Chains A and B, each alone.
Chain A
Amino acid sequence: MTTTLRRAGLTLGVLLMAVALNFVIPRLMPGSPIRAIAGGGDVGELTTAQRNALLDRYGLNDSLWVQFRDYLTGLVRGDLGTSLGDGRPVSTHIGERIGWTLLLVGTALLVTTVVGVFLATAFTTSRRRNVDTGGMTTSIAFDALPPFWVGMMFILLFGVTLGWLPTFGATALVGGGGVVDIAKHLVLPASTLILTGLGQTYLVTRSSLIAVMGSTHIAHARVRGIPERRLRYGHTLRAAALPIHTLVLLEVGWLISGAVVVETVFAYPGLGRLVFEAVEARDYPLLQGSFLLLTVTVIGANLLADLTYPLIDPRTRVSS
């Protein structure tokens, strides 16, 4: 009970810290958001009075404390503020784009996990040592591929040269939105994340399998005559499941960062790319909002890992 409380308190603390950092860091960046606010072309046309009027409307001339206070009160109400660029609520911007990032990251996570764990189990527990070494070295090779370069190569091969798949966006411009269309546009970006993330999953699974493989539990099971397949995918895997599960959920953080690059290369309209654009425009509310959401997602994943820990841990289950 106290551990849960402590964990909750910790999470809250981390969240608060992230919120504070979130507020401070964009304002450390040099440059004024005036270009974003003024829109309409020639910024130089505005007089000083006009400029101040604009900044006043967004509270950007207030002292930092006042701005922070407003930011926090808004946050508590669930209001992430309005984008300086187009005046629409930040939550709307995020709402439009988070789905795509979740789709991309979710798909990549799913495929990476399933394929990575399966392959790792198959190869690591194989009788033949070469298979294991081969699998390990291949994973290291995949892990070494830079995601943006893989993306570029995919566009070149499957988009430009072969023309099989679309090279940009999440949907076609005309008649888009259907499941098949979305899937087609998802293939290349997701494959990029999957290919570059597979290595990590494989290697982590491998090391936790190794830790388990030599244990007495498995040895006894083998002596008892349990068939090899069930041994591999049943007992061994289940025993190794704990750290795999933890790291998979931590992968979310890595994948979200990777998504920024992939979304850029493929012009995929997700949250990662939004952060990049908001930085360019010095759109503080938008930057804060999207940044916060990314952080919350990662924190959420950590929390989920901690909370579902006891559910998967075979030891706790056995004891209860």
Chain B
Amino acid sequence: MFVAAALVATSCASDEATDAPADTGETDTEEPSTADGTAATPPASDPDASADAPETGSSIEQLTIAISGDESTLNPYTYVTGYPGLNLLGLVFDGLLALDADNEPQPALASDWTVSDDNLVWSLNLRDDVVWHDGEAFDADDVAFTFDYVAENTQSNWTPGVAGVASLEVTSPTSVDITLTEPSVDFAVRPLASMPILPEHVWSGVTDPENSGVDVSIGTGPYSIASYDTGQSYALDANTDYALGTPVADTVLLAVIPEPSTAFAALRTGEVDMVSSIVEPQLVAEFESDADLAVQTGPGFGSTQVNFNNERAPFDDPEVRRAIGLALDPQELIDSVLLGTGTSPNPGFLHPDGPLSQGVVTHEFDVDAANALLDELGAELGDDGVRILDGEPMSFDLLVYADNPTRIRSAEIVSEQLDAVGISTSITSLEPAALDAQVWPGFDVNEGRDYDIAMWGWSPSAQLDASRYAALFHSDPAIGTLNVTGLVDPDMDALLDEMLAAQTPEERDELIGSIEERVAEVRPFVVLFYQDGAYAYRASTFDGWVFQNGQGPLGKLSLVSN
């Protein structure tokens, strides 16, 4: 009886999956079952797929990608994660500009742009051949609308990016002039290359953007959302009218598989063609030896670091922080935890392969120097091997996310390395919300912090633009929204203010160099490494993946051919 009820309930459940708006040629989620009801892998047996080369223009029937979590209705106000959510958003929506594989802004919806001599007015010319997924034409009114909407509906990721816009003028259906309050060298990246443009004719009626349904997830991008089965999958159909290139697959299926190991097992069996999660280092060799599979590696921009609570003794003393930095050996971490698949850290935070780094400082690892510095500071070695500074033993809690294996293993090694210089740490694994509550309560730096040392990391987006770089260190909470270490350094503030007001890229770059040096000097945190991105896929299905530095291959660059 139970079973019967359950069967009825489940068939009802799979029927309720939300469908996309009627105008795009709605497809029912319940496709006719294949003859034997197996987990079909049409790409593998599809004659087109094995002979496919993206350049020839013939497309793959279907590409299945495993993602680790639901991304809600996949529009700019509802998507959930920075990765892969933002990447997937880029499949459905376009921005005025787009970042290429080296993270340089390139034309997208805007075909070209000029900046006035005083660096305050950006004039963009828009394409005239772009169509929304529902058939309406794209024009400058949509751009104006998007800027207004994002400024008004402030829960958006891009609201701070448009904060510097004084006014926007529609000079013709295919051109706009954007006037800024202050010059911003970053403007091309943020928001022009990152902010998705919304359709005015749809979104002017959206009053509750965070709970908006998939029916308003209409963009100009290479794929449109054909169906969305909550918590389970998305079916994205190729946009045959896409003006900026040709989608490589007729359908992209996104399968939500929370456990990475399950996702990789599915990759092995052919149930999926690509997995969005980074491949564990030890699996790289394993996968590469499999004829059907391949792995693409490249620089990853996510950082792993050791954060100090700069407001709490003894970490309020930059010398102490510097001494600890000297005791940490990033190479050991990269070798043991990442099996070599990592990039050595820049103590100034910026990834060496990223668009901003000036490469002026390198990490120093010197145990003797660390010991010497600690001795100098008066931290005497106690009988139990733990130093005593100002009457307090140097024994601290090292917090770490309990659900992040790489971080935990790193914490274990960090703890060992600190033991060697007489600093004892006890590793406390907390689940994410609990740790966040101590390091970044309410995600608001105004609320203070309550920790000694914590393993932390910033997502790739922190590497891409100057204002986010400033947000890490500025003592003014309005600017330093990411300053979770509580650093207060007037010299740093001055440099950051100058950098944000820079008029030219050259000026900005020079200032960034100085800031990197300053960061290395005051060391509010110690960067340990940047984990390389290694992504596995079925080469026999599709082999045209393009690795975008810091982002990986999942995105527009791979799934659209030009």
Q: Taking beta carbons and an 8 Å cutoff, which residues of A are in contact with B?
A: 29-32, 34-35, 37-48, 50-51, 54, 85-88, 92-93, 95-100, 102-103, 105-107, 109-110, 155, 159-160, 163, 166-182, 184, 264-267, 269, 273, 277, 280-282
Contact = CB atoms under 8 A, between A and B. Distances in A.
B253 A160 contact: no
A103 B269 CA distance: 25
Contact of B433 (A31, A102, A107, A110): A31
A103 B82 contact: no
A171 B154 contact: no
B64 A48 contact: no
B11 interface: yes
A168 B77 contact: no
Interface of B: 2-3, 5-14, 16, 29-34, 36-40, 42, 62, 64, 70, 72-73, 76-82, 85-86, 154-157, 159-160, 208, 210-211, 230-233, 253, 255, 257-259, 262-263, 265-266, 268-269, 271-272, 403, 431-434, 436-438, 440-446, 459, 461, 471, 478, 481-482
Contact of A103 (B3, B258, B437, B440): B3
26 contacts: A29-B433, A31-B434, A34-B442, A41-B80, A44-B481, A45-B157, A85-B80, A86-B70, A86-B230, A92-B16, A93-B231, A102-B6, A103-B7, A106-B5, A107-B3, A159-B269, A166-B271, A167-B266, A168-B257, A168-B266, A175-B40, A176-B14, A176-B37, A176-B39, A265-B259, A267-B257
Contacts of A42: 82, 157, 459, 461
A102 B2 contact: yes
A144 B321 CA distance: 50
B230 A96 contact: yes
B262 A267 contact: yes
Contact of B231 (A38, A96, A103): A96
Contacts of B42: 174
Given A41-B86, A46-B155, A167 B269 contact: yes
A98 B6 CA distance: 8
A39 B33 contact: no
A172 B14 CA distance: 12
B76 A40 contact: yes
Contact of A180 (B6, B36, B259): B36
Contacts of A97: 13, 231
Residue of A34, A35, A99, A273 ringed by the most chain B CB atoms within 10 A: A99
A236 to B, nearest CB: 26
A176 B38 CA distance: 8
Residue of A167, A176, A273, A277 ringed by the most chain B CB atoms within 10 A: A176
A172 B12 contact: no
Contact of A175 (B32, B79, B438): B32
B79 A31 contact: no
B211 A40 contact: no
Given A88-B230, A169-B257, A41 B82 contact: yes
B265 A174 contact: no
Nearest to B77: A40
Contacts of B440: 44
Nearest to A282: B433
B38 A184 contact: yes
Given A32-B443, A173-B39, A174-B62, 17 more contacts: A30-B434, A39-B79, A41-B85, A41-B461, A42-B82, A42-B459, A44-B471, A47-B478, A51-B443, A86-B72, A103-B3, A110-B2, A168-B265, A173-B233, A180-B36, A181-B39, A267-B258
Contacts of A179: 7, 37
**8 interchain residue pairs of minimum CB distance:** A31-B433, A87-B211, A99-B9, A106-B2, A103-B6, A180-B37, A178-B33, A172-B39
A173 B64 contact: yes
A32 B40 contact: no
Contacts of B73: 86
A266 B436 CA distance: 29
Contact of A171 (B7, B14, B34, B258): B14
A39 B434 contact: no
B468 to A, nearest CB: 8
A98 B9 CA distance: 8
Given A48-B446, A159-B269, A176-B39, A99 B3 contact: no
Residue of A39, A107, A179, A280 ringed by the most chain B CB atoms within 10 A: A39
B265 A87 contact: no
Contacts of A45: 157, 159-160, 481
B451 to A, nearest CB: 12
A51 B442 contact: yes
A36 to B, nearest CB: 9
Given A48-B444, A176-B33, A40 B156 contact: yes
Residue of A29, A92, A174, A269 ringed by the most chain B CB atoms within 10 A: A174
B250 to A, nearest CB: 12
A181 B38 contact: yes
Contacts of A155: 262, 265
Nearest to B154: A50
B265 A159 contact: yes
A177 B232 contact: no
Contacts of B258: 264, 267, 273, 277
B431 A280 contact: yes
A179 B4 CA distance: 12
Nearest to B16: A96
A170 B39 CA distance: 11
B81 A41 contact: yes
A219 B266 CA distance: 58
Nearest to B9: A99
Contact of B268 (A48, A93, A160): A160
B37 A184 contact: yes
B6 A39 contact: no
Residue of B39, B70, B231, B478 ringed by the most chain A CB atoms within 10 A: B39
B13 A39 contact: no
Contact of B437 (A31, A181, A277): A31
A103 B157 contact: no
B9 A177 contact: no
Given A99-B10, A167-B262, A267-B259, A41 B432 contact: no
Given A35-B433, A85-B72, A172-B40, A44 B154 contact: no
Contact of B155 (A50, A173, A180, A264): A50
Nearest to B211: A87
Contacts of B259: 168, 264-265, 267
Contacts of A282: 433
Residue of A46, A48, A182, A282 ringed by the most chain B CB atoms within 10 A: A46
B9 A102 contact: yes
Nearest to A41: B82
Contacts of A86: 70, 72-73, 78, 211, 230
Residue of A42, A103, A169, A269 ringed by the most chain B CB atoms within 10 A: A42
Contacts of B82: 41-42
A174 B31 contact: yes
A216 B232 CA distance: 58
Contacts of A170: 10
